[in-house]
Chains A and B, each alone.
Chain A
Amino acid sequence: QVQLVQSGSELKEPGASVKVSCKASGYSFSNYGINWVRQAPGQGLEWMGWINTDTGNPTYAQGFTGRFVFSLDTSVSTAYLQITSLKADDTAVFYCARVEFDHGYDFWGQGTLVTVSS
């Protein structure tokens, strides 16, 4: 069955970096894009961008350029979200989600809580 399994919660100090993983299984990884979504505490869903798992080409939403990097390791069917120079307001749950053309996000990871605090 299709699964997206994300790495565990992270506690980081301001200025540090974090790398969140999203491991896919149960389907052909390169056939579906991976999107990243941020949800700050008590807030709504915010689209961060997506990565084409066939070409590796990332697309970043406004507000998520510079410190945010999407990458892949296709040998292990895994997508990554790296955030550098962390700030307190980066504290959020980050979700990966599979996207199928014209179908929306049909499978989601369980979410990874990143807490930025000194």
Chain B
Amino acid sequence: DIQMTQSPSTLSASVGDRVTITCRASQSISTWLAWYQQKPGKAPSLLIYKASALESGVPSRFSGSGSGTEFTLTISSLQPDDFATYYCQQYYTQYTFGQGTKLEIK
């Protein structure tokens, strides 16, 4: 099975900050990677697919990059609505989620 490891587990930041979350795969997954945002009590929502493709309706301050085993999600200028938990997911072989990164207000 492919394992996905996110870092950090928790990230404290302020409105306006640029933040980056990293996701590492236990083997190469090409660009078969998605990022999701989840707010408390809500279903996750898709932000990025194919490692760098922005889902329709997602603000352009979100971007994804990477291929192979290392990937990043970047938020260029944090907005109040962005404080949430973020998950990566590989879909190269079946599906696996990372353990999540909680983005907190500093």
**Interface on A for B, CB 8 Å cutoff?**
35, 37, 44-47, 50, 59, 61-62, 95, 97, 99, 102-106, 108-111
Q: Which of B66-106 contact A (CB under 8 A)?
A: 87, 89, 91, 94-100
- Are A105 and B87 CB-contacts (below 8 A) given A44-B100, A47-B95? no
Separation of A105 and B87 alpha carbons in the complex (Å): 12
Q: How far is the CB of B11 from chain A (nearest CB, A)?
A: 15
Dominant secondary structure of chain B at its interface with chain A: loop
> Bound complex: CA of A26 vs CA of B13, how far in Å?
38
Residues of A within 8 A of B43 (CB): 95, 97, 108-111
**Residue in B50, B87, B94 whose CB lies within 8 Å of A44:** B87
- B62, CB-defined interface residue at 8 Å: no
**Complex CA distance for A61 and B46, rounded to whole angstroms:** 21
Known: A45-B87, A62-B1. A108 touches B94 (CB 8 A): no
Interface pair A44/B96, CB less than 8 Å apart: no
Would you call A46 and B1 a contact (CB within 8 A)? no
**Residue pair A106, B55 in contact (C-beta under 8 Å):** yes
Which residues of chain A are near B50, meaning CB under 8 Å? 102-103
* Interface Cβ pair total, 8 Å cutoff: 57
Q: A61-B94, A99-B91, A111-B43 are in contact. List 13 more A-B contacts (CB 8 A).
A: A37-B97, A44-B87, A44-B99, A47-B89, A50-B95, A62-B1, A102-B32, A102-B49, A102-B50, A102-B91, A103-B49, A104-B34, A104-B91
**Could you tell me if B46 and A46 are in contact, using CB atoms closer than 8 angstroms?**
no
Is A105 in contact with B36, judged by CB distance below 8 angstroms?
Answer: yes
Interface range, B side = 20 to 34
User: Given A108-B44, A108-B45, A110-B43, A47 and B1 touching (CB < 8 A)?
Assistant: no
- A97–B45 CA distance with the chains assembled, in angstroms: 10
Indicate if the CB atoms of B55 and A35 lie closer than 8 Å. no
Closest chain B residue, CB of each to CB of A108: B43
Q: How far is the CB of A89 from chain B (nearest CB, A)?
A: 18
